């Protein structure tokens, strides 16, 4: 059942368990399932099932070397107690837009949906080997905490998180540096997210480091959205939101809908594309970006060019210039031409730029549209939507919402990826109230909107800071070596 291959070389094949353990293919490519577009799921069946049942059904087609019982257990462990809403990811009508709320998990961000399930899948896969795994994660803010929370005290797994120092929100910072657990370590990096992510990618391919870890029976792996085990759980809520629209009488089974997705690393919207390839009726995916509009430019011109200034915005989880998961879209859109993909990725590596061929670009343009919203536009949207509907959007979700509204027509589902309370200061500012202190801002926001602060955010300010190391990118290798000692030997 070696059905996963590298986007850059069809001869590098592994099972889904191995793909989840490896994270990235040894040639630097991402694992993909060539037969993905041959899978056809039963939409009517999906529309009659619970979120968890749909998760097992959908994953059983993608992770073929897990037994149904294993998948059931993983899904139960992931979703039984960690989400505050029974639907897991409820859909709410806000004006003419259907908002898919993905932020009711342990850290109030959409990454929880995948990062509650990935540790279960990984732990299950490790049972068939007798190895230990050390997770290396670069984060632009939200992944870090969601991964720490998901992997905390999971047997035989340790985790190191690297975040760009002073480039995450005050709350994101607190969420990470207060994380408990004997197997977790958190480091600030002097640099931005791309610096951290590029270095993590290099470490995975570093022969010396891998040999050092192998001697201790430890394998290095990732929890970033390049991991298959991160990607596939996200497919479920695209189908499940469709189910909710059917159940709410908005559409009938078979009708097309559109999705707008606030995008950074291209993981979330790619999961939607996977759902589409597996039979979900989709009209368009709108890739919504902030002022770092590298994807907007790519989807307009066919040229991906990361040679530009990195802009810090009020939607930090989308402040990204290299959207790694785009590589998987290129694989499918180029008719699974691994040589072409390898060539583009080499150009990206060497020149920071590549241009896809006409046919690949046409295929992409038929399904994907794009727009970018800057900080002023984002604040305006938070303000206007609240005034009109009393619904509060966080900056990331507001970007998608604006794009949804601007492109109304068919039923459009707009993905809401974080609780507004995670970004209280900026959200409050959008409502024309300035408050310097993030924690006071959280209280003010809740008073203003007569709404409750999620408990997992409210408690943060009283927790002790447990991780205060800030390091250079060049020191990341050393701290990883130390971690293999400290995490597994005490």
Ligand X SMILES: *Cc1c(COP(=O)(O)O)cnc(C)c1O
The C-alpha atoms of residue 258 and residue 400 are separated, in whole angstroms, by 12
291 binds ligand X (CB under 6 A): no
317 binds ligand X (CB under 6 A): yes
Nearer to ligand X, 33 or 115 (CB): 115
Q: Which of residues 211-240 bind ligand X (CB under 6 A)?
A: 225
- With tokens 């241009």, the residue in question is 355
Nearer to ligand X, 72 or 429 (CB): 429
Q: Residues 363-402 vs ligand X: string with x where CB under 6 A?
A: ---------------------------------x------
Q: Which of residues 65-94 bind ligand X (CB under 6 A)?
A: none
Site size toward ligand X, by CB under 6 A: 17
The C-alpha atoms of residue 15 and residue 228 are separated, in whole angstroms, by 11
268 binds ligand X (CB under 6 A): yes
**Nearest-CA neighbor of 198 among 340, 338, 355, 352?**
352
120 binds ligand X (CB under 6 A): no
The C-alpha atoms of residue 446 and residue 454 are separated, in whole angstroms, by 10
Q: Please report how close the Cβ of residue 265 comes to ligand X at its closest, in angstroms.
A: 3
116 binds ligand X (CB under 6 A): no
Nearer to ligand X, 110 or 276 (CB): 110
Reported for 479-486, long-range contacts at CB under 8 A and 24+ positions apart, including other chains, are: 479/160, 479/185, 479/187, 480/134, 480/136, 480/160, 480/203, 480/209, 480/220, 481/209, 481/212, 483/134, 483/158, 483/160, 483/185, 484/134, 484/158, 484/212, 484/213, 484/216, 484/218, 485/216, 486/185
The answer to whether residues 377 and 294 touch, using CB atoms and an 8 Å cutoff, is: no
Q: If DSSP codes are grouped into helix, strand and coil, which group holds residue 35?
A: helix
Count other C-beta atoms under 10 Å from residue 489's C-beta.
7
Using CB under 6 A, which of 111, 293, 340, 379 touches ligand X? 111
Using CB under 6 A, which of 23, 105, 264, 411 touches ligand X? 264
Nearer to ligand X, 109 or 200 (CB): 109
Q: Please report how close the Cβ of residue 205 comes to ligand X at its closest, in angstroms.
A: 22
Which residues are designated catalytic? 111
What's the helix, strand, coil split of the chain in %, to 5? 50, 15, 35
Q: Please report how close the Cβ of residue 352 comes to ligand X at its closest, in angstroms.
A: 20
Nearer to ligand X, 15 or 169 (CB): 169
Using CB under 6 A, which of 265, 290, 313, 338 touches ligand X? 265
Q: Please report how close the Cβ of residue 110 comes to ligand X at its closest, in angstroms.
A: 6
174 binds ligand X (CB under 6 A): no
The answer to whether residues 123 and 162 touch, using CB atoms and an 8 Å cutoff, is: no
Alpha carbon dihedral 336, 330, 367, 35, in 10-degree steps, equals 30
Q: Please report how close the Cβ of residue 264 comes to ligand X at its closest, in angstroms.
A: 3
Q: Please report how close the Cβ of residue 282 comes to ligand X at its closest, in angstroms.
A: 17
The C-alpha atoms of residue 354 and residue 343 are separated, in whole angstroms, by 9
Alpha helices in 319-472 (DSSP H): 326-333, 338-351, 358-367, 375-389, 395-406, 424-430, 438-449, 455-458
318 binds ligand X (CB under 6 A): yes
Q: Residues 5-44 vs ligand X: string with x where CB under 6 A?
A: ----------------------------------------
267 binds ligand X (CB under 6 A): yes
Q: Please report how close the Cβ of residue 35 comes to ligand X at its closest, in angstroms.
A: 24
Using CB under 6 A, which of 142, 195, 426, 444 touches ligand X? 142
262 binds ligand X (CB under 6 A): yes
For residue 357, give Cα distances in angstroms to 190, 275, 343, 361, 442: 37, 25, 12, 6, 48
DSSP string, 407-447: T-SS-EEEEE-B-GGGGHHHHHHHTT---S-HHHHHHHHHH
114, with CB counted inside 10 A (0-12, 13-18, 19+), is buried
The answer to whether residues 75 and 62 touch, using CB atoms and an 8 Å cutoff, is: no
Determine the interface stretch with ligand X among 30-38, 157-165, 264-272, 334-342 (rule: CB under 6 A): 264-272
Determine the interface stretch with ligand X among 43-51, 161-169, 266-274, 326-334 (rule: CB under 6 A): 266-274
299 binds ligand X (CB under 6 A): no
Determine the interface stretch with ligand X among 74-82, 105-113, 349-357, 372-380 (rule: CB under 6 A): 105-113
Q: Please report how close the Cβ of residue 230 comes to ligand X at its closest, in angstroms.
A: 9
Given the rule CB under 6 A, which residues bind ligand X? 109-111, 142, 225, 262-268, 317-318, 396, 417-418
């Amino acid at each position: 059942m070696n059905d996963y291959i590298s986007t850059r070389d069809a001869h590098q094949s592994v099972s889904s368990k191995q793909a989840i353990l490896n994270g990235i293919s040894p040639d630097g490519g991402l694992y993909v399932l060539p037969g993905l577009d041959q899978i056809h799921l039963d939409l009517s069946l999906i529309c009659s099932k619970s979120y968890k049942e749909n998760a097992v059904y959908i994953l059983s087609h993608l992770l073929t070397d897990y037994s149904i019982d294993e998948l059931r257990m993983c899904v139960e462990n992931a979703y039984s107690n960690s989400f505050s809403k029974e639907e897991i990811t409820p859909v709410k009508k806000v004006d003419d837009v259907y908002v898919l709320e993905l932020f009711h998990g342990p850290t109030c961000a959409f990454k929880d949906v995948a990062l509650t399930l990935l540790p279960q899948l990984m732990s299950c896969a490790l049972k068939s080997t007798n190895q230990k795994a050390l997770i290396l994660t670069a984060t632009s803010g939200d992944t870090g905490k969601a991964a720490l929370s998901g992997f905390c005290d999971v047997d035989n797994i340790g985790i190191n998180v690297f975040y760009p120092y002073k480039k995450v929100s005050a709350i994101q910072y607190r969420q990470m540096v207060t994380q408990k657990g004997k197997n977790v370590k958190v480091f600030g990096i002097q640099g931005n997210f791309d610096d951290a992510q590029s270095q993590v990618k290099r470490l995975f391919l570093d022969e010396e480091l891998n040999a050092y870890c192998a001697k201790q029976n430890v394998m290095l792996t990732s929890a970033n959205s390049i991991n298959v085990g991160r990607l596939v759980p996200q497919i479920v809520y695209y189908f499940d939101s469709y189910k909710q629209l059917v159940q709410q009488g908005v559409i009938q089974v078979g009708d097309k809908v559109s999705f707008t997705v606030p995008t950074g690393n291209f993981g979330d919207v790619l999961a939607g594309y996977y759902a589409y390839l597996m039979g979900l009726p989709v009209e368009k995916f709108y890739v919504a970006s902030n002022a770092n509009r590298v994807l907007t430019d790519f989807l307009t011109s066919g040229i991906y060019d990361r040679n530009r200034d990195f802009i810090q915005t009020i939607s930090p989880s989308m402040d990204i210039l290299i959207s790694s998961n785009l590589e998987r879209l290129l694989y499918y859109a180029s008719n699974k031409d691994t040589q072409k993909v390898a060539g583009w990725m080499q150009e990206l590596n060497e020149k920071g730029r590549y241009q896809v061929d006409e046919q690949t670009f046409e295929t992409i343009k038929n399904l994907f549209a794009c727009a970018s919203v800057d900080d002023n536009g984002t604040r305006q949207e938070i303000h206007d939507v609240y005034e009109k509907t009393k619904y509060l959007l966080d900056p990331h979700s507001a970007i998608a919402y604006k794009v949804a509204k601007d492109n109304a027509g068919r039923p459009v589902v707009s993905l809401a990826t974080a609780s507004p309370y995670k970004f209280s200061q900026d959200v409050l500012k959008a409502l024309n109230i300035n408050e310097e202190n993030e924690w006071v801002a959280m209280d003010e926001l809740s008073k203003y909107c007569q709404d409750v602060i999620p408990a997992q955010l409210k408690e943060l300010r009283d927790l002790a800071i447990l991780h205060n190391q800030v390091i250079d990118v060049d020191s990341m290798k050393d701290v990883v070596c130390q971690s293999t000692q400290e995490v597994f030997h005490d």
